[in-house]
A = this chain, B = another copy of it.
Amino acid sequence: MRNERLRGYLDVILLSILLEGDSYGYDIAQQVSDQTHGALAIKEGSLYPALKRLEANRFIEGYWGTDKDSGPRRRYYRITDRGKSHLRKLQEEWNAEQRLLSVFFDKVVPE
């Protein structure tokens, strides 16, 4: 999968990861890689701006990790109710989109 294909899907990916529990940037990227068996890699240059965008739109809320976390500081995020309904909406749009595009993608190429 050309990674550019993330365009437009990144928000859903991030929100759906946070649906399963609070997490922070670096870990989210690893979850995505794990859940797609390495097929999808979110780049840092996409990830952190996206998280800020989602936070600015109040789809997620960020907070700094507690002292007992080891390593560099981590900024955790939790999904908001607003974020959940946004996610639902995006999922529905995606389904509609797939049905629409299948008109073209399902056409059989002869030979």
Flag A1-34 by CB within 8 Å of B: 1 or 0 each: 1101101110011001101100000000000000
Interface of A is mostly: helix
Contact present for A104 and B12 (CB under 8 Å): yes
With known contacts A7-B8, A8-B5, A19–B107 Cβ distance under 8 A: yes
- A93 within 8 Å of B (CB atoms): yes
Contact check: which of B1, B17, B107, B110 meets A97 at CB < 8 Å?
B1
Binds B, one of A35-43, A49-57, A60-68: A35-43
C-alpha spacing A7/B4, complex, angstroms? 10
> Can you identify 23 A-B contacts, CB atoms within 8 angstroms?
A2-B8, A2-B93, A4-B8, A7-B8, A12-B104, A12-B105, A13-B104, A16-B105, A16-B107, A19-B107, A19-B109, A20-B107, A35-B104, A36-B100, A39-B100, A81-B111, A84-B109, A84-B111, A91-B106, A91-B109, A94-B101, A94-B105, A95-B105
